Amino acid sequence: MKHSRLVYSGLAVAVAAIAVVAITASGGGSSTSSASHRATTTAPATAAPAPTAPAVTMPAPAPAPAPASAMVRVAHDATHGDLLVAGNGHTVYYFAKDQGTVSACTGACAGTWPAWMTGGAPIAGPGVDASMLGSAHGQVTYAGHLLYFFSGDLSAGTSNGVGTPGWLAISPAGMPIGG
């Protein structure tokens, strides 16, 4: 009888120790939660608990944000007049050698003239004809032309690509600028 009380007392101490560890690991005994971390623990069963960590339920990770849509707007260039730019102010261009929505700019060309890609429908800003705006294969188009950026335009408001053979900026009316 004395031996069974010792075993019972030792078991009670072990259960209590595990409960203290579980409560400490979960941040205390309260059931508070926050948007960034939620944890729940399960109480030990009446039988001696296994020497494993308590069950913890973590929130599901947030879904990745959807790619932003492209905004096209009009900017005034002192040399070239009104032309189309991306929402961030960078001038956009089209390549005269493209065949409709098939790009002729590949390889090294694509490094210098990266395609303007979008994950959604492009958005027409003030002065932009929404009926001319679209996308093909994820690339923004205007007046049926695939649009690109020029790697030589290091800041918004520059149009250094105008004058490069075959590359044209585009007016709000869909007309070529330069070339």
Q: pTM for the complete prediction?
A: 0.62
Both tokens of 30, joined, read 């309260």
For the chain, how many structural domains are there in total? Answer: 2
Provide the domain limits for residue 14: 1-61
- Tens of pLDDT, residues 99-133: 999 999 999 999 999 999 998 899 999 999 999 99
Both tokens of 158, joined, read 């520059």
Are residues 80 and 151 located together in one domain of the fold? yes
Distance of CA 87 to CAs 64, 112, 116, 123, Å?
22, 20, 12, 9
Residues making up the chain, counted from first to last: 179
In a domain, 66, yes or no: no
In a domain, 76, yes or no: yes
